[in-house]
Amino acid sequence: MEKIQLLEECRDAKKIIISGHVRPDGDCVGSCLAMYLYLKKALPQAQVKVFLEEPSEVFACIAGYDAIDSSYTVDGEVDVFLALDCEKTRLGEAEELFASAKKRINIDHHVSNARGSGDINYVVPGCSSTAELVYGLFEKEYVDADIAKAIYIGMVHDTGVFSYSNTSPATLRTAAELIEYGFDFPAVIDKTFSEKTYAQNQLLGRALLESIIFMGGRCIVSAIDKKTLDFYNATSKDLEGIVSLLRTTKGVECAIFMYETGNLEYKVSLRSCKYVDVSKIAALFGGGGHVRAAGCTINGTFHDAVNNISKQIEFQLKQCEDMNA
Ligand code: 5GP
Ligand code: MN
């Protein structure tokens, strides 16, 4: 997909809204805040707002964090709405505003949103992160250390500190360019990615301890129920990283992590190593994501969810075996 002329598209706008997906992660927060800082600097006459659900406090180190508005209220017409790191159906409370905006721009890297859901789309599924894509659209004269740091955080989170298979030579070149701006990048990784609270580590420990390995060791699943979440006073923000760690179990191709969101309702995270396209599986259950990392919400018991997902994993693994036979 061809790059868009970001500043040209926003040049005459009086009111610009930036938003991303529900339960915003590092890439979503990093891209939205980088875009916010950039547009405020490049187009000082425009009113720019960021609408997001309240992100994890670890992202308070990003400039512009305090400008995040979770009220989703705006006076008058929106000239440009930038939906970042998601398709329109994952904008949550911002979806209606997106629908009524004069110009809708969608920048994303999810394969499940390959066509884009704006009037103007820039969707590159092969790219590591929306942050990397967003940076590629910036005119470098406006980029400063705060913007570089926001972009870097987005990239760090979606690539697992440049370790997942979505990390490309271009990703690393961009990262190299970004750290030249001079922010404290080891601290950024430590404070926003690696550091866990005691409760988060307790939940991680429980998830690992109670995990079940099946399908001859090729699959691993673990779940956390509502009672346990309540005991630790935890939310989805406290569960980041669990599924990635489950995936690193030797011999495992596919990891499933789920947590109870309501009566017979689970939010499911899927990760794969090499063969299984988990975005296809998540899409079958109304979700989406990437080839190696995807998610969905499933109604039913824990066992129903595991059975239904593992059937799809088995099907894909069988197809791979047949191809190699
Ligand atoms: P996670 O498992 O970390 O929540 O999500 C993995 C990837 O799948 C992320 O890129 C996330 O944006 C995407 N994803 C997670 N849940 C959903 C969902 O319900 N629908 C869609 N379309 N994408 C999801
Ligand atoms: Mn992303």
Tell me if residue 283 falls in helix, strand or coil.
helix
Measured in Å, residue 325 CA sits from the centre of ligand 2 at: 36
Domain with CATH 3.10.310.30 in the chain: 198-324
Fold of the domain built from segment(s) 198-324: Diaminopimelate Epimerase; Chain A, domain 1 (3.10.310)
> How does pLDDT run across 240-269, given as a tens digit for each residue?
999 999 999 999 999 999 999 999 999 999
> How does pLDDT run across 196-222, given as a tens digit for each residue?
999 999 999 999 999 999 999 999 999
Contact between 78 and 8 under an 8 Å Cβ cutoff? The reply is no
> How does pLDDT run across 174-183, given as a tens digit for each residue?
999 999 999 9
Query: What confidence score (pLDDT) does residue 321 get?
Result: 83
Query: What confidence score (pLDDT) does residue 64 get?
Result: 98
Query: What confidence score (pLDDT) does residue 322 get?
Result: 86
Residue 79, token pair as written in the block: 């000239």
Query: What confidence score (pLDDT) does residue 323 get?
Result: 84
Which portions of the chain are predicted below pLDDT 70?
Answer: none
Q: Select from 104, 115, 157, 106 the least CA-distant residue to 134.
A: 106
Domain with CATH 3.90.1640.10 in the chain: 6-194
Residue 277, phi-psi category: left (phi > 0), alpha (psi -120 to 50), beta (remainder):
beta
Contact between 138 and 99 under an 8 Å Cβ cutoff? The reply is no
| Ligand of minimum distance to the alpha carbon of 108 | 2
Q: Whose CA is nearest to atom 13 of ligand 1?
A: 289
Q: Which atom of ligand 1 is nearest to the CA of 110?
A: 10
Q: Whose CA is nearest to atom 15 of ligand 1?
A: 295
d(CA 103, CA 261): 34
Q: Whose CA is nearest to atom 16 of ligand 1?
A: 295
| CATH hierarchy code of domain 6-194 | 3.90.1640.10
Query: What confidence score (pLDDT) does residue 1 get?
Result: 83
DSSP state at residue 241: T
Query: What confidence score (pLDDT) does residue 324 get?
Result: 82
Query: What confidence score (pLDDT) does residue 312 get?
Result: 98
